[in-house]
Structure 1
Amino acid sequence: MTEVRVPTLGESVTEATVATWFKKPGDSVAADEMLCELETDKVTVEVPSPAAGTLSEIVAEEGETVGVDALLANITEGDSGSDTAPKSDEGETAKPAPEAASDDGGDQGDIQGDKVDVMVPTLGESVSEATVATWFKKVGDSVEADETLCELETDKVSVEVPAPQAGTLAEIIAEEGATVEANGKLAVIAKGAAGQSGASAPEAGTRDGGDEPAAPKGDTQYSTPEAGKGRSDVEDAPSAKKAMAEKGVSRDQVTGTGRDGRAMKSDVDAAIAATKSQPQASESKAPSRAPSAPEDADREERVKMTRLRQTIARRLKDAQNTAAMLTTYNEVDMTEVMALRNEYKDLFEKKHGVRLGFMSFFTKACCHALKEVPEVNAEIDGTEIVYKNFVHMGIATGTPTGLVVPVIRDADAMSFAEIEKAIAEKGKRARDGKLSMAEMQGGTFTISNGGVYGSLMSSPILNPPQSGILGMHKIQERPMVVDGQIVARPMMYLALSYDHRIVDGKGAVTFLVRVKEALEDPRRLLMDL
């Protein structure tokens, strides 16, 4: 008797709900065949069979809440040797040899012989899973060593997965949209001449190109059955089942393109798109009926949120729910900073090889103010306040996929040139999606510059667990009274959002005033005033 238990669910996740059982007591199961699906508050987890045999008992029924390592079911081993073996069209039982096709890509020993596994790379500190975003190759394609095979999305960054060697992509195990764990298996590459293994794959009866006889034409492993006519012993992908249920699509409308005709989520999307593109014959045959206005749903586009966007949404909402967030405002006359920048920008760029912008002035001014008001540079840990005697400055950066916050470490010890170089380098890497997780962790304070998009005023949201964030805005000439005269001055609104649990109003206002003073008279930075 083999026990089926709840696997590790991820960091800080202690329980899950049994969503779906794909087998019932008495059914034969193969090793690593999917038995059931668990749902947590973050991810969906598939539970494979630990051994071949017969599912003798289901302990946790659908809808039950189970903890980590809880007993889900029991499997009786050895009773299903003939029942679970794949059968040919003539009804004969195929040999249960290692070459037989299985959902996990075949026997590991064979893969090590003439095939190479493509594994999920290290995703970064505290990151345990990713989503397969895009496959750039399909089964049968030739690949070169280090050629990009697919792209994974984590909560913050995209990770490219290169081919470990040249050969042919023999099998894709984790389809687009699948959630994979660190060091999980993504695909299998066959060694040897490019194209040979891939060309024979559709005709082979096994996954490793062994000596098993070829399956009859029309029932090959990678053949695509007609819509709704996949093999009855093949389970559709859970994501596909869920999509069909949500969209109201029947199985006979979907043409499965996965292994053995298995329906994937992309197949469901294709079926929905095909249905929408077909002319409404019933309406065209009823001339007496007045043409109706297009349905709103037909003019909508539904796109799944990326993991990055989901994380941004969750963290911003968590910040509002957790912190006692408050925003205070001030304005700064940018005349002196602009004059200083215009006077020295050419010489600065010639000597240091980087342009002199406003961000270095604001970074320096914030570091100066944080020394006087250290609680803005602190964080709450339970019932304790952790004061940071350094400044790791987060610079919020907009990218095509969402907002990220690369961190400049020890910004308080940097010169203007070092700050400008760090901002330029990390900004470029952020826009190219090349930032690592380590480069976005550990910040103690954040600056967000909405002014580059034309924002005149806003209330930035905290970046937990930080206690302060400064919002910069558009520089706009406004009439100001200077020495009794009304003059036009380049003014900018500043906004400091802070956690009122740790920062009092006096400290927040003092911080903004010190930033304002340092920018309106940059010489104060030199004198540490």
Structure 2
Amino acid sequence: MTQEVKVPTLGESVTEATVGEWLKQPGDAVAQDEPIASLETDKVAVEVPSPVAGVLGTQEVSVGDTVEVGALLATIEEGGAPAGDGEEAGRAAQAREQEKQIDQETAAVASGEASSGGDVPTMSPAVRRAVLEHGLDPTTIKGSGKDGRLTKEDVLAAAKAKGSTPAPSQSAPASPAPSPAPAPATSAKGERRTERVKMTRLRQTIAKRLKGAQEEAALLTTFNDCDMTAVIEAREAYKEVFAKKHGIKLGFMSFFAKAACLALKDVPAVNAQIDGDEIVYHDFVDISVAVSAPNGLVVPVVRNVESMSFAEVEQAIAGYGKKAKEGSLTMDDMTGGTFTISNGGVFGSLMSTPIINPPQSAVLGLHRIEDRPVAINGEVVIRPMMYLALSYDHRIIDGREAVTALKIMKEAIEDPMRMLIDL
């Protein structure tokens, strides 16, 4: 019996996607709920699972095609697997479990690369497996696939050039080793080369939204510097009992999220947005927090931060960070938000002018902490300082309101005992 696989519902207001990659080819055995294709939307990548166990029949669309919700993607021949289907299904299930473990381990590697400023390429499960098995850094491998994606052959070629051999795995099903592609030729000394790579759908959307924000909003940025001594001391004093009680580390982001809530409550325009000829004010604070993912930075939303504890904020952010690295963020995770916090300091940024995330009207930019000489009570002392930047839409937020809001955040960070740590 033939089963149709159609483009699933992608989220509110999202009607189409781009076929990013086929994870299964015609004739491949698939288990129920096993991903067969990856779709790229304006915000996230979505894997399409098989509704039944069987064999992939036809692929009705190609990589790079734009498809609408409900469109036919492929067909599955239900129960069409060859003899030994039960054994094949068992091996498929075992392989999926291995993929999950490998994804988690590779995500940890990707996280470290992202925090150091490297661009982590998008990788399919098979490529992630090959990267991990050969112990390679994916950011150093040139992708030959569509849009510069890494292929398994790219990884094998890099491994061959490095002289790497995969670690043995007793649980992996035996299969003939694919022939590695020849290593790419080294450019002649002094040779100048160029390369054209098509922008992904996500990157195109980011470009349009940021350019649109600059063209439509009256953007302005106000700065302040912040003494991080008290927060650093509070984290050091409470880190062990906090982690023991809540099961998570006390980070910087919860301090800034709660400080932002104080400011947005006192200066509601910073938490508002323009809708036509009206200003929409919110009595809640939904903070979009920029986190690093293999595809780039994404901004999932932590909702009702004003009513959350420090531990709940840290747990929510950590949960989104894990989902981002695993590629499992949903459209609902990314929808909404009344204010954004972006921490460029993890990449080493000293100062920046962040761009607002429409339809929001303000964004707080955090930067690296560095020891600097400052004057306190007539004496020059060395303190850990951070520059804060608040970019805002001058159409709705006056300069006095923006400066006041940023000053409230600064004061809350410099005196964190004013905020409840929930211990």
SS in 2 for 1:161: strand
Distance across 2 between alignment mates of 1:193 and 1:130: 29
Structure 2 distance, partners of 1:470, 1:500, is: 15
Corresponding position of 2:167: none
Among candidates 56, 66, 82, match of residue 179 of structure 1: 66
1:351 Cα offset (Å): 0.5
What's the counterpart of residue 334 of structure 1? 228
5+ residue gaps, structure 2? 84-144, 147-181, 183-187
Q: CA deviation at 1:453?
A: 0.7
What SS does structure 1 have at the residue aligned with 2:419?
Answer: helix
**What residue number does 2:398 align with?**
504
Which amino acid in 1 is paired with 2:260? C
Q: Which residue of 2 aligns with 1:415?
A: 309
Task: Trace 1:101-500 onto structure 2 (pairs within 5 A).
Answer: 114-195=1-82, 296=192, 299-500=193-394
- AA aligned opposite 2:235: R
Query: Could you give the per-residue CA deviations for residues 276-301 of structure 1, whole angstroms, max 9, x where no partner exists?
Result: x9xxxxxxxxxxxxxx99975xx323
**What is the distance in 1 between the residues matched to 2:308 and 2:53?**
45
Higher RCO (C-alpha 8 Å, min separation 6): 2
Alpha-carbon distance between aligned partners in 2 of 1:507 and 1:489, rounded to the nearest angstrom:
28
Query: 2 CA distance for matches of 1:517 and 1:454?
Result: 24
Cα contact 1:308–1:402 (8 A) shared by 2? no
Inter-partner Cα distance in structure 1 for 2:336 and 2:51: 32
Tell me the distance in 2 between the aligned counterparts of 1:127 and 1:193.
34
Please give the residue correspondences for 1:77-116 in structure 2 after superposition, counting only pairs within 5 Å.
114-116=1-3
* Whole-angstrom CA distance in 1 between matches of 2:365 and 2:249: 22
The count of residues paired between Structure 1 and Structure 2 equals 321
Deviations 1:363-401 (A, max 9, x none): 010000111111000001111111111100110112221
Q: Distance in 1 between matches of 2:243 and 2:420?
A: 21
Please list the CA deviations of residues 197-234 of structure 1 after superposition, one character each: whole Å capped at 9, or x if unmatched. Answer: xxxxxxxxxxxxxxxxxxxxxxxxxxxxxxxxxxxxxx
If each structure's helix is expressed as a fraction of its own residues, which one has the higher value? Answer: 2
For residue 352 of structure 1, report the CA deviation from its aligned partner.
Answer: 0.3
What's the secondary structure of 1:346's corresponding residue?
Answer: helix
TM-score by length of 1: 0.59
- CA drift of 1:162 comes to 1.3
CA deviations over 1:90-138 (Å, ceiling 9, x no partner): xxxxxxxxxxxxxxxxxxxxxxxx2111111111111101111111221
Q: CA deviation at 1:303?
A: 1.9
Query: Distance between the aligned counterparts of 1:138 and 1:526, measured in 2?
Result: 54
Give me the identity figure in percent: 60
Q: Which amino acid aligns with 2:68?
A: E
Q: In the alignment, does 2:409 pair up with 1:515? A: yes
Does the 8 A contact of 1:368 with 1:525 survive in 2? Answer: no
Structure 2 counterpart of 1:162, one-letter code: P
Structure 1 alignment gaps of length 5 or more: 1-113, 197-264, 267-276, 278-291
* Distance (whole Å) between structure 2 residues aligned to residue 416 and residue 327 of structure 1: 28
Larger Rg: 1
- SS of the residue corresponding to residue 249 of structure 2 reads coil
SS at match of 1:140: coil
Residue in structure 2 matched with residue 218 of structure 1 by the alignment: none
Structure 1 residue 498: Cα displacement: 0.2
Distance 2:19 2:267 in 1: 44
Q: Using the alignment, how far apart are the partners of 1:494 and 1:369 within structure 2?
A: 14
Give the Cα separation in 1 of the matches to 2:78 and 2:238. Answer: 59
Paired letter, 1:169: L
Q: What amino acid is aligned across from residue 311 of structure 1 in structure 2?
A: T
Structure 2 length normalisation: TM-score?
0.73
2:244 aligned counterpart, secondary structure = helix
